[in-house]
Copies of this chain bind each other. A is one copy, B any other.
């Protein structure tokens, strides 16, 4: 098939429209941009990849992605640089993008796996923070990331980019009501730990051996008192110097790595 060359074609506009939340909700699709995201999608969840778009240069530069996509019988479409740029949110998609379905995991299924380490994001609004926490959760070997209904859409271009492919590595459950989710975690025997600068328990003093979930709040104002009250413990990352606080992604990474260290000792 000849490459798509018209950046004003309907197909191109339809892909670009996926940068809008309303369109993602309506279509159940989102766009993974760049070689890293596309590679992880194709390798870990080919069943979620609807279409792969790539430039000639990307085709020759990433034979591994092309081979894996072809083996999975995915649809590969050649496009010009101009068309790809018109499709993507990032100014530098590096020649590759993939339309994927937004199918997310189910809390029941996650709990059925008897998870040992979970993260619950509540009211997280900054895409970079949300994506970085998902990446950190993946790196620390968390079993899933749970995202509250009041948080940023994890399929927005900036979140997807910040996860650096981790969105395709572990189950991400979205749209969860916080109260009910905390109750269900506790009912499943999972200790629920609120991470918050007001906590009286210091991170090094917590027994992270048993199964637990970290609840992380908004980047600016932390966790709501009502949410903290629902948790088993409110835990503070100690500040040894003069800094007022750590940012959300840093605090989450420190907590998650403390958990990982306890689980892998």
Does A135 touch B at the CB level, under 8 Å? yes
Total copies of the chain: 2
* B residues in contact with A140, CB < 8 Å: 240-241
Q: Does A150 interact with chain B (Cβ within 8 Å)? A: no
Interface size class of A (residues with CB under 8 A): 35 or more
Q: Are A241 and B204 in contact (CB under 8 A)?
A: no
Taking a contact as CB atoms under 8 Å apart, the answer to whether B243 and A165 are in contact is yes
Partner of A135, one of B36, B135, B137, B243: B243
| Complex contacts, A142 vs chain B, CB 8 Å | 241
Q: Which residue of B lies closest to A143 (CB)?
A: B241
Query: Which of the residues B166, B237, B242 comes within 8 Å of A243, measured between beta carbons?
Result: B166
Distance between A239 CB and nearest chain B CB, rounded to angstroms: 5
| In the complex, A164 has a CB within 8 A of chain B | yes
Given that A170-B241, A260-B238 are contacting pairs, would A250 and B136 also be in contact in the complex, using a CB cutoff of 8 Å?
A: yes
User: Residue A95 at the B interface, CB < 8 A?
Assistant: no
In the assembled complex, the Cα of A204 lies from the Cα of B246 at a distance in Å of: 22
CA–CA, A166 and B166, complex, Å = 30
Residues of chain A from 33 to 73 with CB closer than 8 A to chain B in the complex = 36, 44
Residue in contact with A257 in the complex, picked from B44, B138, B247, B254, CB distance below 8 Å: B254
| A interface list, Cβ under 8 A from B | 36, 44, 132, 135-142, 164-166, 169-170, 204, 237-247, 249-250, 253-254, 257, 260-261, 263-265
Q: Give 14 A-B contacts (CB < 8 Å), ordered by A residue.
A: A132-B250, A136-B250, A138-B243, A166-B243, A169-B241, A169-B243, A170-B242, A204-B264, A238-B260, A246-B253, A250-B253, A253-B253, A254-B257, A257-B257
